[in-house]
Structure 1
Amino acid sequence: MEKIVPAFQKHWEEVGFQEPTMIQKEAFTYLEEGKDMVGISPTGTGKTLAYALPALQKVAPSDGVQLVILEPSQELAVQVGEVVKEWANEIQLTTLTLIGNANIKRQIEKLKAKPEVIVGTPGRILELAEQRKLKLHQVRIAILDEADQLLSQDQLHTVREVVKKMPSERQMGFFSATSNEVVAHLQRWFNADPEWVDVTETDDSKGELSHAYIEMPVRKRNQVLKQLTNMDGFRALVFFNDVGSLMTTLEKLQYDGVSAEVLHSEENKTARKKNLQAFRSGKLSLLLTTDLAARGLDIQDLDYVVQYDLPISKESYVHRSGRTGRMKRKGTVLTLVNERDLRNFKQLISPLNIDLQKRQVYQGELVSEKPAVEKEMKTKTVSKPKQKETIRVKPVEQSEKKKKKNRRKNQKNKGARKKKS
């Protein structure tokens, strides 16, 4: 803490921060010394300030764009932009957030204020740079946040084009909760030989996470979601693998009166911002989203993450789980599965050494099993009263009927009394 400027020390105390996290300590040393670095740290351990504080201290006021922070999504760019701006203001630096789907003419107008710090998505930053509205020739530090996502196949080319417009001697920082093959070969892609800092095993600032699953047929998942919202104070980020399934579920939930909205890349910027704010303020019980839209989001006091669809990789599970249980808070990750999903899910997360527990919703609570009394009531069989046995008499056939004697007329009433004379 003695290495950060007095303005930052004062603000650190004002916002109530205490001891820096492990990644904040390690990153400060490398970035302050001007070294390239890769910082791997669990979600919710303060990576934004880990790179922002040392990088901001190296920026000179009124000297053009010197710090560029790249983010994989618009939501994350806005979120990080707000944090960076808060601290940059303490040392009289100007920050500008540049994202797609925003008014580009308005962004060009704001660039005339000559900000020293740019936070944004690679696509919009490259677009403005190619139009020569954004000059990157004075950049001293480039930070790739959520680096494994930024360096995936669909974004790698754009990120490299942005970095090419910066000086070859710029400093680079790569931060994420997980790594991938591209991150492991940065020298090939960016002519950089960064120091590796991985505090995953040693960091003690991560929250206490519970990992559980609820087993049911796929057709009952919406019903279970509705039951979960009946729990006291329940609020969850619900993950889907595709937008189509997400929208279908939203319609059914809203029809049933559940307060739910969506956050996905195909929605317009205004609606996404509105839904995210409503969820953060507690007006919504559920926010349905995808991996890309919710990557890196910091939502205060979020107790639950629900996986409607299984994650496609263990890295995806790590990032989804990281939306809850942040900075020493408790959180629960619930995965909805059927019997087949459960086998695949256990295999997927086996390298993570997670203690996975079975749960079910019972009378507004999440329990490991229903009370024994209810089980007895369900298994108890009610005996039916015995029916009286009815004796069926076999009908007498016509042939078996006693035949009348064929008597002559004078033989009839042979036994009758004789009349008195």
Structure 2
Amino acid sequence: MSASGPAPGQTEAQWRQEIQQRVVRDERPQTDDVLKTKGNDFEDYFLKRELLMGIFEAGFERPSPIQEEAIPIALTGRDILARAKNGTGKTAAYVIPSLERLSTKKTHIQAVLLVPTRELALQTSQVCKTLGKHTGVEVMVTTGGTTLRDDILRLSQTVHVLVGTPGRILDLAGKNIADLSQCTTFVMDEADKLLSPEFTPVIEQLLSFLPKERQVMLFSATFPLIVKDFKDRHMVKPYEINLMDELTLRGVTQYYAFVEERQKVHCLNTLFSRLQINQSIIFCNSTNRVELLAKKITELGYSCFYSHAKMLQAHRNRVFHDFRNGACRNLVCSDLLTRGIDIQAVNVVINFDFPKNAETYLHRIGRSGRFGHLGLAINLITYEDRFNLYRIEQELGTEIQPIPSTIDKRLYVAPSLITEDEVNKQNNSGKASANGGSNNGNGNGAQQQQQRQHQSGAPVIPPTQAKFTQTTIPQSQDFTQSIAGRNRGPRQPQQARQA
């Protein structure tokens, strides 16, 4: 087969089928987040054949809703303001038109792709290289935490697409190392973060190095009011796309467990033993707690990596690369990895520390259920978190339910990994619960009481976890400490009901 298209006597359909036969298909079920499309194909956009080869070889079959909306508009060169859920294909929605519009015959930088974190920069550059591997495009990634020397050497050669974090790219442009005077495509991924007060001055300076005739595209799951100010000053009649009829992904099932601070590690251990985890990401609210928890998980006998902003960049890169390649089952991290990180194998996200705001929560749980697949989000809630939980539910328009004693594997495990016996067991368990509920008047009364609590604004505390609320433990207390001599009650029933 020709590297640039069909072999002599081969039709376009045969050429595409031959490429797709070499790709291992993902047979996992998907939700409407990515399946509710207009039925377009990538060929409908008249893309370069070399680019189509990269798209098909990457396993892309048809464009997702955000790709259907953004790609044809972006190809015209118009500014775009796009809002879509995490994990629905936003990266390819701007990478594909950016690669299509550039010319590999020119040697200067033609597209700048800005992202807020170093890990996301590495991931985005890899997407560019994968999709454009037959086009001859030269992609460079640059982030803070590395020496300028390597970047200077790389920029002395041809670079068509520059991917990186704002501070480093501004540094290169300000020192005349990176010439952006002919860069006609400027993309901001996770634009809400890039337009936060810490990044806005850098973005403003960076835009001054670009030509006035340029295409500006903003992509994010959430857009604060500050985006309007940026749009009015730096964008020309942008085409606005909003696919956020709801904020959370439909494939992610959300639960919470009401625990004391000192019981979190025990609860986590129970979850590990009960859940069928392919890979999990566990979030903490501080770097110190990230390292403490990673140490605890390792002591419990589970494989675990950790990553946070205070680590050396080389170490962060290695952890991200190895976890992505399946070298470890669990990753403990701070909010460093909440944005954009796409690891398809992650099917469970655990908020060991509950986040303070809805935006962070949304990005965290979006690490599972990627591209319409199923995932599970479990939140460990302390007494201090109870009203924060309710507030986030209201802001996101979602429901976080009390964790049941048994979680149906069909909610987060690929069907091919569930045995027929397990399916029958889940079905029988569901029927038994339904029958038990209808025959037990006390059970119905408790359920009605829980519903009333939920409607009144208080989170539902399952009866099996009610004892956890009797003693308040400060949120700041080190979760590795325990209180000696305290009567903890019968431990076995609590252990059995935690997960």
What's the TM-score, normalizing by structure 1? 0.82
Paired residues, what number? 373
Matched residue of 1:230: which SS? helix
Q: 1:56 aligns with which of 99, 104, 114?
A: 99
Structure 1 residues 220 and 283: CA distance shift in structure 2, 3 A: farther
Residues 73-117 of structure 1, C-alpha deviation per residue, up to 9 Å, x if partnerless? 000000000001122332211111111112321111011112111
Q: How far, CA to CA, are the matches of 1:274 and 1:231 in structure 2?
A: 29
Q: 2:71 aligns with which of 28, 52, 74?
A: 28
2:331 is aligned with 1:287 = yes
Q: Name the aligned partner's letter for residue 313 of structure 1.
A: N
- Cα distance, 1:362 vs structure 2: 6.8
2:239 is aligned with 1:190 = no
User: Contact 1:314–1:348 (CA<8 Å) still a contact in 2?
Assistant: yes
> What is the 5 A alignment of 1:193-232?
193-201=237-245, 208-231=251-274
Structure 1 residues 314 and 336: CA distance shift in structure 2, 3 A: same
Structure 1 residues 94 and 363: CA distance shift in structure 2, 3 A: closer
Q: 2:369 aligns with which of 305, 320, 325?
A: 325
- Give % identity: 28
User: Contact 2:108–2:159 (CA<8 Å) still a contact in 1?
Assistant: yes
The worse-fitting range, judged by mean Cα deviation, of 45-54 and 337-346 is 337-346
Q: How far, CA to CA, are the matches of 2:407 and 2:228 in structure 1?
A: 49
The worse-fitting range, judged by mean Cα deviation, of 121-130 and 1-10 is 1-10
Q: Name the aligned partner's letter for residue 154 of structure 2.
A: K
Partner of 2:315 in structure 1? 271
User: Contact 2:393–2:400 (CA<8 Å) still a contact in 1?
Assistant: no
RMSD across aligned C-alpha pairs, in angstroms?
2.7
Partner of 1:389 in structure 2? none
Partner of 2:157 in structure 1? 113
Q: How far, CA to CA, are the matches of 1:74 and 1:215 in structure 2?
A: 34
2:130 is aligned with 1:86 = yes
2:139 is aligned with 1:95 = yes
2:195 is aligned with 1:145 = no
Q: Name the aligned partner's letter for residue 178 of structure 2.
A: L
> What is the 5 A alignment of 1:5-404?
5-61=48-104, 62-190=106-234, 192-201=236-245, 208-231=251-274, 233-234=276-277, 235-359=279-403
Q: Which has the larger radius of gyration?
A: 1
Q: How far, CA to CA, are the matches of 2:207 and 2:285 in structure 1?
A: 31
Q: How far, CA to CA, are the matches of 2:52 and 2:236 in structure 1?
A: 32
Residues 353-374 of structure 1, C-alpha deviation per residue, up to 9 Å, x if partnerless? 22322115679999999999xx
Note the residue ranges of structure 1 that are not aligned, 5 or more in a row: 379-421
Higher strand share: 1
Q: Name the aligned partner's letter for residue 319 of structure 1.
A: H
User: Contact 1:209–1:332 (CA<8 Å) still a contact in 2?
Assistant: yes
User: Contact 1:22–1:203 (CA<8 Å) still a contact in 2?
Assistant: no
Partner of 1:385 in structure 2? none
The worse-fitting range, judged by mean Cα deviation, of 227-236 and 325-334 is 227-236
User: Contact 1:207–1:327 (CA<8 Å) still a contact in 2?
Assistant: no
Note the residue ranges of structure 2 that are not aligned, 5 or more in a row: 1-41, 412-425, 437-463, 465-489, 491-499
Matched residue of 1:241: which SS? coil
- Cα distance, 1:176 vs structure 2: 0.7
Matched residue of 1:212: which SS? strand
Q: How far, CA to CA, are the matches of 1:326 and 1:309 in structure 2?
A: 22
Structure 1 residues 342 and 13: CA distance shift in structure 2, 3 A: same
Q: How far, CA to CA, are the matches of 1:346 and 1:364 in structure 2?
A: 24
Q: How far, CA to CA, are the matches of 2:296 and 2:133 in structure 1?
A: 45
Q: How far, CA to CA, are the matches of 1:113 and 1:344 in structure 2?
A: 51
Q: Name the aligned partner's letter for residue 322 of structure 1.
A: G
Higher helix share: 2
- Cα distance, 1:322 vs structure 2: 1.0
User: Contact 2:284–2:353 (CA<8 Å) still a contact in 1?
Assistant: yes
User: Contact 1:212–1:333 (CA<8 Å) still a contact in 2?
Assistant: yes
What's the TM-score, normalizing by structure 2? 0.70
Matched residue of 2:256: which SS? strand
